[in-house]
Amino acid sequence: NEIVLTGIKPTGKVHLGNYIGAIKPALQIAGTSDCTSLYFIADYHGLTFIQDRDEFNTLSYSIAATWLALGLDPDRVIFYRQSDVPEIFELSWILSCLTSKGLMNRAHAYKSIHDKNEQLGLDSDTGVNMGLYTYPILMAADILLFQSDKVPVGKDQIQHVEIARDIAEGFNRIYGDTFKLPDYIVDEKTAVIPGLDGRKMSKSYNNTIPLFEPAEHLKKLINKIKTDSTPPQAPKNPDTSNIYLLYKEFATPAQVQDFRNKYLNGISWGDAKQELFQVVNAYLEEPRKKYNKLMVAPVQIDDILNEGARKARAIAAPLLKKVKLKIGRYN
């Protein structure tokens, strides 16, 4: 029985990159194989970025409502809020005592801010809190505490899963075989979904297409996707087109074939965007309704999350106990 685990941090609206890179594959795995899936809201990771109480609360619910609206079945998936599982934070501390500072210096979330500060001639740690700095250790605890085999993520999280592996190996070396070594699952084709400007779609680049925007706004955003200046009637290469890449994720195989032919025969970027909007909007229409309904009174989600936390803790507590025995805490 394989354990599959993934999380999303509540630092902004869930966007197409999150959906295609992580949520869609995670839901596919949960729906098809007989594995145990643990999907969670990484709210305490989000706290390193969001320190407005109401925003933090709403964004956390928004992540939960997104998963549920997209079809997560809480009877099949253990679905919880990270902060409801205190065992994770206890393990995180234990792991941090075995993790070298140098490893954190190289972790990219921290390193990118550090390097940018240096370029700007600022103190290299400007804007860095300790939560951001030790972020990968908490993520290792998320993963290792459940003996995860597989972690479906986008490319930007590969390094973090590798760090979790390193930390697990370090612990196993000192205290004997304890943690499973996790693997990431990344689909090369969708590992980096581009945003409106062609860079990686990311909340921090402000180039996202959020999943559940009203149709009119979705259309506006899709129209903003950057394209080249190939003339309208000229044949176009679908395999280098961001519009085509997104289209494939939301259309049927027959629609994709048809769209491909249009590219080869010449389609204007305006028309391509219009068709992309049609399929994305049709695909998301029902989930969007469910999402909006859940967000009217998001506390209705609490029962589901509380039950998920109960199940998660039932798995986490015995493992944490085992870890404590290994390090010399006997009661």
- Give residue number: closest CB to ligand TYM: 21
Strand ranges across the sheet with 150-152? 77-81, 36-41, 3-8, 150-152, 183-185
Show contacts with ligand TYM in window 183-222 (CB under 6 A).
191-193, 200-202
Say whether 7 sits in a helix, a strand or coil.
strand
What's the token pair of residue 264?
A: 């080869």
30 touching ligand TYM, by CB under 6 A:
no
Q: Give the helix/strand (H/E) hosting 231.
A: none
**Token pair of 42, please?**
């990484």
Residue 312's nearest CA partner among 34, 127, 37, 18 is 37
Biggest alpha carbon–alpha carbon distance for the chain: 74
Question: Shortest Cβ distance from residue 17 to ligand TYM (Å)?
Answer: 3
Interface residues for ligand TYM in 123-182 (CB under 6 A)? 139, 142-143, 151, 153-154, 156-157, 160
189 is in an annotated binding site: no
Asked whether position 24 contacts ligand TYM by CB under 6 A, the answer is: no
Cα separation, 31 vs 48, in Å, equals 32
Per the structure block, which two tokens stand in for 118?
């240096």
Rounded CA-CA distance 236/95 in Å is: 51
Q: Say if CB 11 and CB 50 are below 8 A apart.
A: yes
> By C-beta, is 222 or 267 nearer to ligand TYM?
222
Q: Which is nearer to ligand TYM, 70 or 267 (CB)?
A: 70
Q: Which residues pair with 7 in a beta bridge?
A: 40
Q: How far is the CB of 255 from ligand TYM (least distance, A)?
A: 22
Q: Rank residues 91 and 143 by Cβ distance to ligand TYM and give the closer one.
A: 143
> Binding to ligand TYM by residue 312, rule CB under 6 A?
no
- Supply the minimum distance, in Å, between the C-beta of residue 48 and ligand TYM: 10
Residues found near ligand TYM in the complex (CB under 6 A):
5-9, 17-18, 21-22, 42, 45, 139, 142-143, 151, 153-154, 156-157, 160, 191-193, 200-202
Give the annotated binding-site residues for L-tryptophan: 142
Give the annotated binding-site residues: 9-11, 17-18, 142, 154-156, 193, 200-204
